[in-house]
Amino acid sequence: MEEFNYLAPESFDQAVVAKSQHAEKSRVIAGGTDLLLRMRDKVVAPSVLIDLRHTSLDKILISNGVMILGTSASLSQILENSEITQHFPALQTACREFAGPPIRNRATLGGNIVNASPAADLVPPLMAYDASIVLRASGGDRALPLAEFFTGPGQSVIAPDEILMEIQIPLLPASSAATFIKLGQRRSMAISQVNLTARLSMNNSDCVTDARIALGAVAPTPVRAHSAEDALVGEKLSEDLIRMAAKKAREEITPISDVRASLEYRLEMTEVLVRRALIATWKKQRRTKTSG
Amino acid sequence: MLPGKNSEERKPVDEVEIKLNINGNVTQVKTEASTTLLYMLRDDLGLTGTKDGCSSGDCGACVVMVDNKPVNSCMMLAPQAEGTTVITVEGLEKDDELHPLQRAFGETWAFQCGFCTPGMLISCYALLETNDDPSREEILTAIAGNFCRCTGYQGVVNAVQRAAAELRTKNEDTEKTDV
Ligand SMILES: Cc1cc2nc3c(=O)[nH]c(=O)nc-3n(C[C@H](O)[C@H](O)[C@H](O)COP(=O)(O)OP(=O)(O)OC[C@H]3O[C@@H](n4cnc5c(N)ncnc54)[C@H](O)[C@@H]3O)c2cc1C
Ligand code: FES
Ligand code: FES
C-alpha cells in the first residue's frame, strides 16, 4: 500500500471541504472493505484518505413519505431496522446474504453503491424500490435516480469533489411486494454470480399495475430488464406470462464469463431466477391480500 | 499492510498516535497510518493471538471486538480504531481463568491446529453477548465469516451451546444470591 495522509473530519461540512480541496488525490473511506483491498493491490493509490466516521451520516429515518438512509449506514444497521423490515424487506434479504457478520458490521450501503461493482448486492433491491441518491459537493447538492449513477464496472458519474450523502426510497403502497434472490457459489461469503430483485404492484383482479426487475452481475453495470417489465404491466399475471417475461429478461442482459460463472450459466440462471422471483412475489401479494 | 509492517517493501512514513482501550487497558500506540488494526495488535502491541489468514476479509482469523461488535481487524486501518474499545482473544480470560467458551472449545474438540480459533472465539463471544441460548442455526450464522480448514464446525456448535448453558446457570446462581 502506498502511503497517505489520513483525515477524520469532525463534521460532514468539513469532509466536503476536504474532498473539494484534495479532489482526485483523495478517497473517502467508509467501512474500507472494498477500498483497503484496492489500495493494497495498488489499483488505487490516494494520497489523502477522508474517513467519514465522525460525520453522523449513518442515520436511517422516514420523512414525508420517503425513507432516508445515510450513506454510512452499515449492513448490520439496515438489518436491525424495523421500518426497513416493514417497507423494504428485499433490501434486508440482500444484507442477510452478504458476506458474514464481521464484514456486515463494517461495510456500508454507500460504499456498496460508490464502489460500482456490477455484482453489488444492495443495488438491485434499491433499484427495484426506485431509490435515488444525493451527492454533495461544496458547490451544492445533486440528486439522481440510482439507476443513472453507474457507467461501467467500477465507474460512475460521481465527481472527484463529491461525497455521497444519502439514499432516498419512496414508501410504497401496500399493494407492492418484492423478492431478492442471490446466486453464489456458497451460502455465505460469496460474491454473486447473479443477483436480482423483482417487484410487482397488482390490483384486485391480479392485473400488474407496476413492475421492476433489477439485475446484477449480468452486464457492465446493474441493470433494469425494461422489456420484461413492459411485458408484465397491464396484463393479468399467470405462469405463462411470467415465463415469457423471464425469457425477455434473458434476452436483455449482456453477461461475461469470469472466475465466478460462465456467460452461458449466467444467461440460463437469469431466466430461471427471474421466473422464481416473480412467482415468489406473486405469492407474497396473494398472502397480503388474504390477510388484509 | 500485508505482509506486515516489517516487510521490506514499506517506506518510512509519518507516524500517527492512536489512543484506544484494549482488553480493558487504555493504550497509546505510535504506528503508521497504513498499518491495519491487525498488525498494530500483532506487531506494535505483541498481541499475537489474533491471526492473519488472508488479510482480505475472507477467513475471519483476525476477528476482534470493536465497540461491542465483531469485525475483521485486517480490514480496518489503525487510525480508524482511534477512541474505540477493542477486545481480542487475550482479553477473554478473567482473573487467570479461561472464559467458559474457551474451556468448552477444548472440551468439545472444537479445534485441531487452532489457527481459526481466536477469530472463531470472538465471533462466538459476540453471539453470546446478545443471545444466551443460541440455536444451532444461529451459531452457524454467527460464524459464517470464520473459516476452519481442518476441524469443521460441529465441535464449535457444541462448544457454544455448552458454554451458553454454563453461563445461564451461573447467571441464575448470581440472581439467586442477589435476592
Ligand atoms: C470478505 C468480503 C466479502 C464481501 N461480500 C460482498 C457481498 O456479498 N456482496 C457485495 O455486494 N459486496 C461484498 N463485498 C464488498 C464490500 O464489502 C461492499 O461493497 C461494501 O458495501 C463496501 O462498503 P464500505 O463501506 O466498506 O466501502 P469502502 O471500502 O469504504 O468504499 C468503497 C468505495 O466507495 C467510496 N466511498 C464510500 N463511501 C463514499 C461516500 N459516502 N462518498 C463517496 N465515495 C464513497 C470509497 O472511496 C471507495 O472507492 C465483500 C467484501 C469483502 C472484503
Ligand atoms: S485475516 Fe482478516 S479475514 Fe482473513
Ligand atoms: S482448527 Fe485448524 S483451521 Fe480451524
Contact, B48 vs A79, CB < 8 A?
no
**What does the pLDDT read at residue B120?**
98
Delimit the CATH 3.30.390.50 region(s) of chain A.
Answer: 176-291
Q: Does residue B52 sit at the A interface (CB-CB below 8 Å)?
A: no
Q: What is the pLDDT of residue B172?
A: 87
- For the segment A6-32, the average pLDDT, to the nearest whole number, is 98
Domain B15-91 in CATH: superfamily? Beta-grasp domain (3.10.20.30)
Confidence of residue A290 (pLDDT cuts 50, 70, 90): low
What dotted CATH number matches A60-170? 3.30.465.10
CATH 3.30.43.10 residue ranges in chain A? 5-51
- Hey, what CATH topology would domain B100-173 get? DNA polymerase; domain 1 (1.10.150)
Residue B178 above 80 pLDDT? no
Interface of A with B in 80-99 (CB under 8 A): 99
Single pTM value for the model:
0.95
Predicted confidence (pLDDT) at residue A214 exceeds the cutoff of 60: yes
> How far away is chain B from the Cα of A34, in angstroms, using its nearest Cα?
9
Is A62 within 8 Å of chain B by CB?
Answer: no
Task: Write down the pLDDT at residue A260.
Answer: 92
Handedness of CA B50, B52, B56, B61 (dihedral sign): negative
Question: SS3 breakdown of chain B: % helix, strand, coil, rounded to 5?
Answer: 40, 15, 40
CATH of domain A176-291: 3.30.390.50
Which pLDDT does position A292 carry in this prediction?
A: 45
pLDDT digits (tens, 9 = 90+) for B11-56: 545 689 999 999 999 999 999 999 999 999 999 999 999 999 999 9
Domain residue spans in chain B? 15-91, 100-173
Q: Tell me, what's the pLDDT at B3?
A: 47
Closest of A223, A215, A222, A125 to residue A176, by C-alpha: A125
DSSP letter, residue B30: E
Is the distance from CB of A152 to CB of A125 less than 8 angstroms? no
Q: B1 vs chain A: nearest CA distance in angstroms?
A: 6
Task: Flag whether residue A185 sits within 8 Å of chain B, measured between CB atoms.
Answer: no
Ligand closest to B70 (CA) is 2
pLDDT of A242-274, one tens digit each? Answer: 999 999 999 999 999 999 999 999 999 999 999
Q: Could you tell me if A266 and A194 are in contact, meaning their C-beta atoms sit under 8 angstroms apart?
A: yes
- Over the stretch B66-98, which tens digit does the pLDDT of each residue have? 999 999 999 999 999 999 999 999 999 999 999
- Mean pLDDT of the region A152-173: 97
Ligand lying closest to the C-alpha of residue B155 = 3
Taking an 8 Å cut-off on Cβ atoms, the answer to whether B2 and A189 are in contact is: no
Provide the 10 A C-beta neighbour count for residue A87.
18
Half-sphere exposure (Cβ direction) of B159: Cα atoms closer than 13 Å: 27
In this predicted structure, the answer to whether residue B8 has a pLDDT above a threshold of 70 is no
Whole-number pLDDT of residue B141: 96
Cell numbers that stand for A35 in this block: 477500498
CATH 3.30.465.10-classified regions of chain A: 60-170
pLDDT at B13: 59
CB-nearest partner of B71 from A8, A49, A106: A106
What CATH architecture is A5-51?
Answer: 2-Layer Sandwich (3.30)
Report helix, strand or coil for A237. Answer: coil
A51 in reach of chain B (CB within 8 A): yes
Q: State the pLDDT confidence band at A288, using cuts at 50, 70 and 90.
A: confident
pLDDT band for A185, please (50, 70, 90 cuts): confident
Asked if A111 contacts A34 with a C-beta cutoff of 8 angstroms, the reply is yes
Q: What local confidence, expressed as pLDDT, does residue B15 receive?
A: 83
CA-derived radius of gyration, chain B = 17
